[in-house]
Homo-oligomer: A and B are copies of this chain.
Amino acid sequence: MAVHTVASVTNPVDLGPAAALSCRECGHRVPLGPVFACEECFGPLEIAYDFSGYDTEELRKRIEAGPANIWRYAPLLPVPADVADKPNLNPGWTKLVKADHLARELGVTGGLYVKDDSGNPTHSFKDRVVAQALEAARAFGFTTLSCSSTGNLAGAVGAAAARAGLRSCVFIPHDLEQGKVVMAAIYGGDLVGIEGTYDDVNRFCSELIGDPAGEGWGFVNVNLRPYYAEGSKTLAYEIAEQLGWWLPDQIVVPVASGSQLTKIDKGLQELIRLGLVEDRPYRIFGAQAEGCSPVSVAFKGGHDVVRPQKPDTIAKSLAIGNPADGPYVLDIARRTGGAVEDVTDAQIVDAIKLLARTEGIFAETAGGVTVGVTRKLIENGVLDPTKTTVVLNTGDGLKTLDAVAGTGLTATIRPNLDSFKEAGLV
């Protein structure tokens, strides 16, 4: 079965079924390489695959017999066939938790699941995308893995590079919280604080890529971005396989740059075209924080253009004010009958506590955003509670403890029974 058949190009590297880079805007194709923008129209490049020669049932068996990590899907990713033999963090195959208590609280009767990506090696979904970028870095002969980051990504890159035996050099704003600095620095790579905002850090990285000083450097979210982004497809693959090769009716996905949501859609489409799942309708919902809601505002206003915002929210891992993939998110939400919605910081905190109290899952603020938006969409009659729904938690509450710092002791007592009984807990 041929999917995404591409014109033959000569690739200097072996990245499995990845056949070329293709511009999402104009379709122009170039060989695989460390480039991210179309030379014709400056549109974003993404991976085009050659899946010809795959037999559906053989592929399914191969996946099911594969390792309990993302490499079970190696035939569908831009990685060499022997990827699992090389040292990397082997992320993925995280739990899809049937959330019956949460469903009861939210009034969902059609089956509610939480895809809990806090189970990844550095406890966020970033391990999935960095693992793809690492293979691309190896293929292109890069010796330093780099990125700009405000948190999760820094740790994921530092850990992956350490495991792979590559150097890492990560750039962050110089005034990050000490905890985040420790999490990024512990892996022993270079960690450079830049006097400026996150935008300044990004601008600096683009400069460095063009300079001889940046030679041999793979920036996972810049010049390796087309490879990196594909890692999010594995969330779609896992959800479908864990549901017994079945597409859920509704999926709620956090939106930062919007890349994750678009790649989840891409992954689901591939499963359909490969015959691994039945072609049935699904709806994709995007979730943002009110304090950084450019895509949600555009969706609700019926606009095609995403107007940048200056972020101000506790959901810092989603705080991208000018999301590159915003227009694609709007397309997908509208095409699939989904929506994009946002919640306030207070609603985010409530949702973190709700998920912890009902299912024992301690989510990062981004998980509070998706659970909070799910609740809001149900209350507003947008999300159908009688349908099977999957909500993503993309990170770990241990990384955003400040957001729930008010949570504390129920009672303080003296060490005796009388004092305990006075506290009124029995």
The answer to whether A192 has its CB under 8 Å from any CB of chain B is: yes
Q: Given A121-B360, A183-B401, are A195 and B415 neighbors across the interface (CB < 8 Å)?
A: yes
Kindly supply a per-residue 1/0 record for chain A positions 142-177, scoring 1 wherever the CB is within 8 Å of any chain B CB and 0 otherwise.
Answer: 000000000000010011111101000100001000
Interface residue ranges of A396-413 to B (CB < 8 Å) = 396-399, 401, 404-405, 407-413
The answer to whether A66 has its CB under 8 Å from any CB of chain B is: no
The copy count of this chain in the complex is 2
Of the candidates B357, B413, B416, the one whose C-beta lies within 8 Å of that of A162 is: B357
- Complex Cα–Cα for A422 and B415 (A): 59
State whether A204 touches B360 (Cβ < 8 A): no
Interface residue ranges of A187-206 to B (CB < 8 Å) = 187-188, 190-196, 200-201, 203-204
Chain A interfacial residues counted at CB < 8 A: 79
Interface residue ranges of A24-52 to B (CB < 8 Å) = none
State whether A410 touches B191 (Cβ < 8 A): yes
State whether B420 touches A185 (Cβ < 8 A): no
- 27 A-B Cβ contacts within 8 A? A87-B100, A101-B163, A119-B121, A123-B396, A123-B398, A160-B360, A161-B360, A178-B405, A178-B408, A182-B407, A183-B362, A185-B408, A185-B410, A186-B356, A187-B362, A190-B410, A191-B409, A191-B410, A192-B412, A192-B420, A193-B411, A193-B412, A196-B415, A204-B415, A204-B417, A211-B417, A213-B426
> Which of these binds chain B: A89-97, A255-263, A285-293?
A89-97
Question: Which of A93, A123, A163, A421 is the most central at the interface, judged by chain B CB atoms within 10 Å of its CB?
Answer: A163
Q: Closest Cβ of chain B: how far from A342's Cβ, in Å? A: 23
- Complex Cα–Cα for A169 and B424 (A): 12
Report B-chain residues with C-beta under 8 Å of the C-beta of A352: 186
Of the candidates B186, B194, B360, the one whose C-beta lies within 8 Å of that of A407 is: B186
The answer to whether A122 has its CB under 8 Å from any CB of chain B is: yes
State whether B409 touches A193 (Cβ < 8 A): yes
